[in-house]
Amino acid sequence: MFHRVVPNFIIQGGNSDSWKSMRKRQEIGRYLLPPDTRKGHAHHRGVISMPSSEIDNPHKLASPYEFFIVQQAPGAYHLDGNYTAFGEVISGMEVVDKINRLEIDKREMPIKNVYIKTEIIR
């Protein structure tokens, strides 16, 4: 589910509140991933990246349960070097744009739930 929309910047999803997901996270335990910025991937429009986990997180450790998609054009290059870019939207950016225009509340959460179905291509 997309739970955060920052107009003209990003859409953020993952970390479902479903019981199945919560049980799986409980099994795995709490851990954070260090950023992998050595590859030098830029945060162009359409890049999928990992957000840092908490506000007071100087090492930019990332939650393995969340992701964001850069909607801003031409990109959000101020994020480069701090966040791990790991994928790219290869078609359907018009859907990202549509989600980014949704009505949101004060916490940047869409008023209506938005779900995503993903496919991993190898």
CATH no. for residue 82?
2.40.100.10
Query: For the segment 68-99, what is each residue's pLDDT rounded down to a tens digit?
Result: 999 999 999 999 988 889 899 999 999 999 99
Q: In terms of residue numbers, what domain contains 36?
A: 2-100
114 lies in some domain: no
**Nearest one of 71, 68, 69, 82 to 36, comparing CA atoms:** 82
What is the distance between the alpha carbons of residues 53 and 25, in angstroms, rounded to a whole number? 14
Q: What is the pLDDT of residue 106?
A: 96
Helix and strand numbers, DSSP H then E, in the chain:
2, 5
118 lies in some domain: no
Instruction: Give the predicted TM-score (pTM) of the model.
Output: 0.84
* Per-residue DSSP letter, 34: P
70 lies in some domain: yes
What is the distance between the alpha carbons of residues 55 and 14, in angstroms, rounded to a whole number? 18
What is the distance between the alpha carbons of residues 7 and 65, in angstroms, rounded to a whole number? 22
pLDDT under 50 in the chain at which residues? none
109 lies in some domain: no
117 lies in some domain: no
116 lies in some domain: no
55 lies in some domain: yes
What total number of domains does the chain contain?
A: 1
Structure tokens at 76: 């959000």
106 lies in some domain: no
